[in-house]
Amino acid sequence: MKKFFFCLLILSNFVPFLRAQEKSLVEVVVECNNLPEFSQVFITGNDPQIGNWHPDFAKLDRFDDRKWGKKFHFSNGKKLEFKITRGSWENEALNDDGSLPTNHKLNVEKDTIVKINVNLWADQFERKIEGQITGIVKYHLNISADKIKQRSVIVWLPPFYFIETEKRYPVLYMHDGQNLFDPRTSAFKIDWQLDETADSLIRKNLIESIIIVGIYNTPDRRSEYSENDTGYAYMKFIVDSLKTFIDKSYRTLPDAENTATGGSSMGGLVSFMLAWEQPDVFSKSICMSPAFKYKRFDFVDNVSSYSGKKKSIKFYIDNGGDEIDSTIQPGIDEMLLTLNEKGFNEGDDIYWIKDENAMHGESAWARRIWRALIFLFGTEEGKKLLTGY
């Protein structure tokens, strides 16, 4: 009898495992009427079979002049998110009104056919981009560096910079610089509105006046924002070349106490790395939806293995709750716990917030960036607003 119940217990634990290993057939069919004869259509999303969001990885088969499709096998229980492109984000499928669609979503439970009608593509739509850059910006184009691709840099100057000519300013170095201020240069035509936010906070005396340096990314973005030789070459470029240039060209406060870095996703990872590896240069870091520990990336181990004295750094960390951000949530949780073990305290050295309904993208980061600016550069009035006192 004991053996019977033991076997029953084993079986009860094994059945859910078997179910999790079962796979269902998912056929994606895309129909559209307005493409040239030799057009290619792709699916991209949150699974290796569909490219892990690389827009030109998973090409659909052409069935006829207006229909493309492909069959995939996904594990049951998979929460699939995906979009349709023609090989790049510059020509992704749009809603009929020209707006950017949210991700298609599917909870894989059984064999399914997903039919998608596309009537408009991004390169067929003349998008009206509202707004303009608030404030004064300076461009420095095609800056070269050792062992990494050349790139451009945009520098946003605070209000009254050319009036208060004796004043010097803290500096925030931000990655993915083309996405920060101008929707015309942003990868998805949606910017962080960092210019409007910073200008408003400064004029309301909620943060100090700061200079913001936006460092454009390159096709090597993922490698440059990672812990590898290319990533360390990118960080060396910022510390040894770019910061030196900015300090010579603008009225900065060059010490570590007045120097910060920030970014999102992989840019959030490299922002953490810069501050952690160079606390003598950066004392503040903004890490939005950061990939601290994701697939082959793991910087939690670096922090965990550190045995020196506590570093003088403040970290703003946040994330949303969508599929991508839920995937990186365990790494964020581990990093917060590890930082706490190293003596960093939430509220003093760390500010963390989770926006449950937020997606992984520029519009969500734009809505949250004001908190980061106040936590790192806030005046007394700003800090009261942030803490609710």
Across 10-21, average pLDDT: 52
Higher-pLDDT residue of 36, 122: 122
Mean pLDDT (whole number) for 95-105: 81
User: What is the identity of the amino acid at 294?
Assistant: Y
SS3 category, 278: coil
What pLDDT sits at residue 130?
A: 54
Token pair 């076997």: residue? 7
Pairing of strands 148-157, 211-215: antiparallel
H helix or E strand, kind and range, residue 272: helix 266-277
How do beta strands 259-264 and 284-288 pair?
A: parallel
Do residues 195 and 186 make contact, with C-beta atoms less than 8 angstroms apart? no
Q: Is 275 exposed, middle or buried (0-12, 13-18, 19+ CB in 10 A)?
A: buried
CA 237 – CA 230 distance, rounded (Å): 10
User: What is the Cα–Cα distance from 73 to 27, expressed in whole angstroms?
Assistant: 9
pLDDT at position 188 is 72
CATH of domain 23-124: 2.60.40.10
Of residues 259 and 40, more confidently modeled: 259
Average pLDDT score over residue span 199-208: 96
Q: Which tokens in the block code for residue 211?
A: 């200079």
Question: Angle, to 10 degrees, between the axis of helix 229-236 and the axis of helix 266-277?
Answer: 70
User: How would residue 61 be classed by pLDDT, with cut points 50, 70 and 90?
Assistant: very high
Q: Could you please report the per-residue DSSP string of 202-262?
A: HHTTSB---EEEEE---TTHHHHTSSSHHHHHHHHIIIIIIHHHHHHHS-B--SGGGEEEE
Phi, psi for 219 (deg, rounded to 5): -60, -15
| 274 touches 237 (CB < 8 A) | no
Whether the CB-CB separation of 151 and 217 falls below 8 Å is answered with yes
pLDDT digits (tens, 9 = 90+) for 341-376: 999 999 899 999 999 888 888 889 999 999 999 999
Question: Encoding tokens for residue 189?
Answer: 């035509």
Does pTM top 0.75 for this prediction? no
User: Pairing relation of β-strands 112-117 and 23-31?
Assistant: parallel
Query: Which residues sit opposite 316 in a β-bridge?
Result: 286, 351
pLDDT of 35: 74
- Report the alpha-carbon distance of residue 378 to residue 381 in Å, rounded: 8
Does CATH place domain 136-387 in 3.40.228.10? no
Q: Where are the domains of the chain?
A: 23-124, 136-387
Cα within 13 Å of Cα(142), Cβ side: 0
Q: Are 265 and 241 in contact (CB under 8 A)?
A: no
Please state, in angstroms and as integers, the Cα–Cα distance from residue 5 to each residue in 2, 10, 16, 275, 325, following that order.
5, 9, 18, 56, 41
Residue 10 has pLDDT above 70, yes or no: no
Q: What is the mean pLDDT of residues 319-336?
A: 90
Confidence class for position 18, pLDDT limits 50, 70, 90? very low
pLDDT higher at 183 or 284: 284
What is the pLDDT confidence band of residue 216, given thresholds at 50, 70 and 90?
very high
| More confident call, 62 vs 7 | 62
Mind listing the pLDDT tens digit for each residue in 133-192? 899 999 999 999 999 999 999 999 999 999 999 999 999 999 999 999 988 888 777 889
Q: What pLDDT, on the 0 to 100 scale, is given for residue 126?
A: 54
Beta bridge partners of 293: 298
Instruction: List strands edge to edge, sheet with 136-145.
Output: 136-145, 148-157, 211-215, 171-175, 259-264, 284-288, 314-320, 350-355
